Amino acid sequence: MIANLVLGSLAGWLVYWQVRPVFGVRFWRPEQLAQALAEGRSLQLVDVRTPGEFAAGHLPGSVSIPLAQLRRRTGEIDRERPVVLICRSGHRAMQAYHILRRRHYAQLVVLRGGVLHWQAYRRMRAGPGAAQGWQ
């Protein structure tokens, strides 16, 4: 009985932990991004990884603005359109989120788990070796 209560509480906490905002950061899971793209939403996909990482592969339609250059290049990002920030795992995208929030960008989302989770999601949906959703 107590074990079930503890396990239920732990499961609830784990679900909350996966969807909660971190310090006000809004996250999308890969399936949420895929849905928004399938709906044709006018999103700006901003990849903040290094140029080498971007060249090795990136989401179709994404633009490369490395985190180290973001402060100088914010003018390239439209304030009126939603921005999805992408990096390898989510850490640099969170830093980019805070930089852009301080510059009064309001429609910001971080791809939870970055390209690592995106690639895993695409493989799961399309099968092993699938390159769909990746350039």
**pLDDT tens readout for residues 28-45:** 999 999 999 999 999 999
What per-residue confidence (pLDDT) applies to 45? 99
pLDDT in tens, 53-70: 999 999 999 999 999 999
**132/91: higher pLDDT:** 91
In a domain, 119, yes or no: yes
List the domain range (segments joined by +) for residue 95: 23-126
Q: Is 115 a member of any domain?
A: yes
Per the rule left: phi > 0, alpha: psi between -120 and 50, beta: everything else, 40 is left
**Confidence class for position 124, pLDDT limits 50, 70, 90:** confident
Q: For residue 75, is pLDDT > 60?
A: yes
Number of domains in the chain: 1
d(CA 87, CA 133): 15
Identify the pLDDT of residue 86: 99
Classify residue 17: in a domain, yes or no.
no
* CATH number of residue 67's parent domain: 3.40.250.10
Give CA torsion, residues 14, 16, 22, 28, to 10 deg: 100
Angle between helices 30-38 and 114-126 (to 10 degrees): 70
Residue 94 maps to a domain: yes
Question: What are the catalytic residues?
Answer: 87
Position 132 in a domain: no
pLDDT at 76 over 50: yes
Structure tokens at 131: 């390159």
Q: Is residue 47 part of a domain?
A: yes
Tell me the C-alpha distance between 41 and 131, whole Å: 22
- 31 located within any domain: yes
